[in-house]
Amino acid sequence: MLGMGRAGIKRSHCPDFYSTYHHLRSDSASAMTSKQVPHFQAENPMKSAQLFMTKGTGAMSYAENSNWHAMCMEKIWPTVLELVDSMKLPDDDMSIITIADLGCAPGRNTINNVETVLKRVKERYRNGHIPEFQAFFQDLYDTDFNTLFQLFKNSVATIAENVPETLKYFPAGVPGSFYGRVFPRSSVHFVMSTFALHWISKVPSSVLDKTSEDYNGGKIEHERASRATIDAYARQGDVDLRNFLDARVEEMATGGLMLLVFGVRKVYYPYCNTMVNEVKERIWDELVSEGKVDSGLRGSFNNFMHFHYLKDVEQILNSYSEKLIVEKEYVFPFFLYPQNMTAREKAARHASLNRGLYTSMLEDHFGEDITNLYIARYEQALLEGFESGTLTEDETNTYQFVAIVARKL
Ligand SMILES: C[S@@+](CC[C@H](N)C(=O)[O-])C[C@H]1O[C@@H](n2cnc3c(N)ncnc32)[C@H](O)[C@@H]1O
């Protein structure tokens, strides 16, 4: 068991994660694509959209475009599984052991993640009675659970008759928001959430309020956002993270483990310096000045993917030190393409990532024609920028990911 002090967070910039980074930089152009449709809640006066990964199993689907997440997880697992070995488990024969994945999305990743934990826990029962296992796959109401459930047909470890006892488990889908309670109290032994907690629950209402200093009118991304706007997002992010932790503290069994992997930034303000996002804003500027997009419509649209400021995350976790002990914390870089990619490949990768993340949300707000026009111009501008050398990526000052393993006291 890796015993740690109560309140202290152990951060390690793990060498493994840097090798992940180099490994991933040589990954194929399609690896980063996922389609996420952020959820505009009632605060948005003009439109409402839902957050869900691209449905189905087609070329743009989340199921087919999430191997980047899986590769990151491969590097994380060895350490997490060591901690799983030290997880407190029920010792009576009739117990049921529960694993939950929050923000699971309709893809293979969640099944692989759950089964990785399941297999490791079952190893502890090799010489005795094996308890029954249930696994909960949790995501927002509009998630394509049908596609997810179809994937279980090919899963080795569900309750099918030909599956050995050592792999069986009972899967179930759980719709709802992980920013509130989704399970009964003290019922979950291992809970994880990977690449999901950087979607905050809503765009802060003040960001959409023209009378507020937080108003982010005329901007969509956070690059040009004022300090007041970023503060508003950060406040919402902090509230969400606390709501998430409050719910998990209730739901986790004592001695249980929680694995969280999500986006963070290391500079509080300016939010980050991604030139490609600035290109996006420039294209929206053009579309407005050409009269193709109404400025009010653009003003009412804000990204609600918010990468938390790492120090805020650590501070919040520290405030839970009576209930949760952080066993491990790793930070690893976010990146978009291997260095040896051509300008065209880089442009295609960015455009494809952008399509995967935002197409449905943009279509919902601006319509299909404007969305197609915007994406085509974006890809063209990136191509020209990369070819001329005017566009570069400063990866050291952009996004990162953090992986945190915490134990319920
Ligand atoms: C990028 S996907 C990650 C999926 C999967 N965990 C993986 O690692 O491949 C993020 C997921 O988080 C879900 N999500 C975002 N906000 C959520 C919330 N408040 N409650 C539950 N799920 C949420 C999204 O619907 C999406 O399926």
Residue nearest to atom 20 of ligand 1 (CA): 177
Which pLDDT score is estimated for 55? Answer: 57
Which pLDDT score is estimated for 6? Answer: 31
Residue 345, pLDDT above cutoff 50: yes
Which pLDDT score is estimated for 332? Answer: 82
Share of the chain above pLDDT 70, in %: 76
Residue nearest to atom 5 of ligand 1 (CA): 104
How many whole angstroms from 323 Cα to the centroid of ligand 1?
A: 25
- The residue behind tokens 């992940």 is 20
Q: Exposure of 338 by Cβ count < 10 A (0-12 exposed, 13-18 middle, 19+ buried)?
A: middle
Rounded distance, CA 105 to CA 165, Å? 27
Q: Exposure of 345 by Cβ count < 10 A (0-12 exposed, 13-18 middle, 19+ buried)?
A: middle
Average per-residue pLDDT in the chain? 79
Does the Cβ of 358 fall within 6 Å of ligand 1? no
Q: Is residue 283 part of a domain?
A: no
Share of the chain above pLDDT 90, in %: 42
Does the Cβ of 114 fall within 6 Å of ligand 1? no
Does the Cβ of 257 fall within 6 Å of ligand 1? no
Q: Is residue 214 part of a domain?
A: yes
Residue 358, pLDDT above cutoff 60: yes
Cis peptide bond upstream of 338, omega within 30: no
Does the Cβ of 140 fall within 6 Å of ligand 1? yes
Three state DSSP letters for 280-347: HHHHHHHHHHCCCCCHHHHHCCCCCECCEEHHHHHHHHHCCCCCEEEEEEEEEECCCCCCCCCHHHHH
> Looking at ligand 1, which atom is closest to the CA of residue 106?
27
Which pLDDT score is estimated for 200? Answer: 92
Q: Is residue 161 part of a domain?
A: yes
Average pLDDT over residues 228-242: 96
Closest by CA to 20, choosing from 406, 266, 353, 335, is: 335
- State the CATH number of the domain containing residue 113: 3.40.50.150
Q: Is residue 348 part of a domain?
A: no
**Probe ligand 1: pick from 39, 178, 199, max atoms within 8 Å of CB?**
199
DSSP 64-114: TS-HHHHHHHHHHHHHHHHHHHT-----STT-EEEEEEET--SSHHHHHHH
211-224 confidence digits (pLDDT tens) = 999 998 888 878 78
Does the Cβ of 199 fall within 6 Å of ligand 1? yes
More confident residue, 6 or 376: 376
92-124 confidence digits (pLDDT tens) = 766 899 999 999 988 889 999 999 999 899 888
Residue 231, pLDDT above cutoff 50: yes
Q: Which two tokens stand for residue 43?
A: 């605060």
The residue type found at 124 is R
Residue nearest to atom 14 of ligand 1 (CA): 103
Are 204 and 233 in contact by the 8 Å Cβ rule? The answer is yes
Does the Cβ of 53 fall within 6 Å of ligand 1? yes
pTM here is 0.81
Residue nearest to atom 13 of ligand 1 (CA): 103
Q: Is residue 171 part of a domain?
A: yes
Residue nearest to atom 23 of ligand 1 (CA): 103
**Probe ligand 1: pick from 39, 50, 53, max atoms within 8 Å of CB?**
53
Does the Cβ of 391 fall within 6 Å of ligand 1? no
How does residue 58 score in pLDDT terms, banded at 50, 70 and 90?
low
How many whole angstroms from 196 Cα to the centroid of ligand 1?
A: 4
Q: Is residue 391 part of a domain?
A: no
Q: Indicate the number of domains in the chain.
A: 1
Which pLDDT score is estimated for 142? Answer: 83
More confident residue, 302 or 146: 146
Which pLDDT score is estimated for 68? Answer: 65
Which pLDDT score is estimated for 45? Answer: 35
259-290 confidence digits (pLDDT tens) = 999 999 888 998 876 777 788 889 999 999 99
Average pLDDT over residues 77-85: 93
Does the Cβ of 54 fall within 6 Å of ligand 1? no
CA 324 → CA 6, 14, 177, 249, distances in Å? 8, 22, 21, 8
How does residue 62 score in pLDDT terms, banded at 50, 70 and 90?
low
Long-range contacts of 309-313 (CB under 8 A, 24+ apart): 309/234, 309/264, 309/265, 309/266, 309/268, 310/264, 310/265, 310/266, 310/400, 310/402, 311/268, 312/234, 312/237, 312/238, 313/241, 313/264, 313/402, 313/404
Q: Is residue 162 part of a domain?
A: yes
Does the Cβ of 374 fall within 6 Å of ligand 1? no
CA 373 → CA 107, 162, 328, distances in Å? 29, 51, 45
Domain that holds residue 107: 11-26+58-273+305-341+397-408
Q: Is residue 289 part of a domain?
A: no
How many whole angstroms from 236 Cα to the centroid of ligand 1?
A: 17
- Per DSSP, what are the bridge partners of residue 193? 260
